[in-house]
Structure 1
Amino acid sequence: MVSSNILGARILDLALEVEDHLIISDLHLGYEEALNYQGLMIPKFQYPKIIHRMEEIHSRSECSRIIINGDLKHEFGKINRQEWKETLKFIDYLQERFQEIILIKGNHDPLTPIIAQKTGLEVYSNYSTGNFQVMHGDRIPEKWDEIKEENIVIGHEHPAVGIRSGERIEKIKCFLSGEFRGKNLIVMPSFNFITEGSDVLHEKLLSPFLKEMKHDEMEVFGVEKFETFYFGKISHLLKVQPEPYHYDSHFIDFKS
């Protein structure tokens, strides 16, 4: 286990503390119902796990504000019944515990402004706090040179690493840290429990940030139940397990 600090921010399980702001990303509420529509019949188990993990995180944090960094819900062009129910319940839950909720628009959020309007919130394309600029990460801002903050926090990628132990391979959610266009970049894992995410060692990259940069020089911080593990750079991990492999959970795809 290593220090949970990155560039002055603190890793707290799947969340990131930046000054008085707690950041979480990519919840994809309602994902089970979307899979059910596709014929993949899985139970609706994620919401209780999200609340349980939030309770643990909140008990260890003194932040009074929370940022949801995109993809609060899953469906692109509609709001299914599960999404309506769970997003409204979740926002109620957060409003009881935080002074302010900041919603950042993700690529799965074209209809999130409707939810925000119903709950009295606003949706932002990006949000600045101290020396950190928070954005979802599905696109690079056109006016990049006008960003004054030295540190950028994104989600969208759902980063994980596949750790091989004999014949068994297990994905572990992780934070990534590297340099992008002269700024420090932090990539957050998803706050989603249906899948661990995309293996940054071998699977297709989603974020244009990682596609543009030399992402194999990024540092990897694995997270597992409030413990943080430093795995070194992606390039080092590729030397340990260079061969691609396949996962049984091939049907889980968040799309770009």
Structure 2
Amino acid sequence: MITIKNQHFTPDASGVLFWENKEILLVADVHFGKIAHFRKFGSAVPSAAIIANFQKLDEAIKKYNPRKLIFLGDLFHSDYNQEFELFECWVQQQNCSILLIKGNHDVVHPSFFKKANLEVLPHLIIGDFYLTHKPEHKPGYFTLCGHLHPGYALRGLGKQKLKLPCFYQAKNQLILPAFGTFTGLYLVEPKANESVYVCAQQEVIRVQ
């Protein structure tokens, strides 16, 4: 558990962050549509990978039973394709309210958001916290965001290297890992007084 400004957050190995006090599930950078986009242009990505993102979301919602689900941007990757239709059906099956903090990849026409009954905002303030897509220093607030797709390289004694997604806590901000499949990693090198929590299979481990 991570405690920030007297609020308790549980980072999950799936990449989601559960805000205990508010019963809010935070998810960053799902990039729905990316797999279908790759397949459309000839990339040999298995179609089963499309369903994997939905299954991961279902598992996280079942585990934490949130009152609200907030996507911290880049919910979608490109223009409209079949994954958007799947998402619209998925939304209709959920019991919690759903909100999107719009990211730079969320370029689909606003009519889709309206049709999917999805509330969309450029950013959101909840108490002492500023929720946005890109890392940003907001005076007086602690930022919760995504965009960076943070990862960390664990190195072994035999020069082995294992790259894993991570939660990256820098000064006055916590950056969530990318939730989606095939999103890539931006390796971070934490400075003094910064923390990294790597997502290792079924657990989250703080790197000292």
> Does the aligned pair in 2 maintain the 1:173–1:189 contact within 8 Å?
yes
Q: What's the counterpart of residue 84 of structure 2?
A: 84
Calculate the TM-score normalised by the size of structure 2: 0.84
1:224 aligns with 2:193: no
Where do 1:48-127 residues align within 5 Å?
48-75=51-78, 78-79=79-80, 81-93=81-93, 96-98=94-96, 100-111=97-108, 113-127=110-124
Higher helix share: 1
In the TM superposition, residue 34 of structure 1 has moved relative to its aligned partner by 2.0
Amino acid across the alignment from 2:191: D
In the TM superposition, residue 195 of structure 1 has moved relative to its aligned partner by 4.2
Calculate the TM-score normalised by the size of structure 1: 0.70
Q: What's the counterpart of residue 44 of structure 1?
A: 47
SS in 2 for 1:107: coil
> Does the aligned pair in 2 maintain the 1:72–1:87 contact within 8 Å?
no
| Equivalent residue for 1:133, pick from 127, 130, 134 | 130
In the TM superposition, residue 156 of structure 1 has moved relative to its aligned partner by 0.2
SS in 2 for 1:216: coil
Provide the alpha-carbon RMSD of the alignment: 2.3
Say if 1:82 and 1:164 are closer, same or farther in 2 by CA, change over 3 A.
farther
Provide the rounded CA distance (Å) in 1 between the counterparts of 2:62 and 2:9: 18
Provide the rounded CA distance (Å) in 2 between the counterparts of 1:41 and 1:92: 30
In the TM superposition, residue 112 of structure 1 has moved relative to its aligned partner by 5.6
Residues 15-49 of structure 1: CA deviation (Å, up to 9, x unaligned): 11222211001001111122234442211233322
Provide the rounded CA distance (Å) in 1 between the counterparts of 2:3 and 2:163: 22
> Does the aligned pair in 2 maintain the 1:29–1:86 contact within 8 Å?
no
Provide the rounded CA distance (Å) in 1 between the counterparts of 2:89 and 2:161: 35
Aligned length: 200
Identity of aligned residues (%): 23
Provide the rounded CA distance (Å) in 1 between the counterparts of 2:91 and 2:170: 32
Provide the rounded CA distance (Å) in 1 between the counterparts of 2:105 and 2:73: 8
Q: What's the counterpart of residue 16 of structure 1?
A: 17
1:153 aligns with 2:153: no
> Does the aligned pair in 2 maintain the 1:73–1:87 contact within 8 Å?
no
Say if 1:11 and 1:37 are closer, same or farther in 2 by CA, change over 3 A.
same
Provide the rounded CA distance (Å) in 1 between the counterparts of 2:109 and 2:16: 21
Structure 1: any 5+ residue segments left out of the alignment? 202-214, 233-256
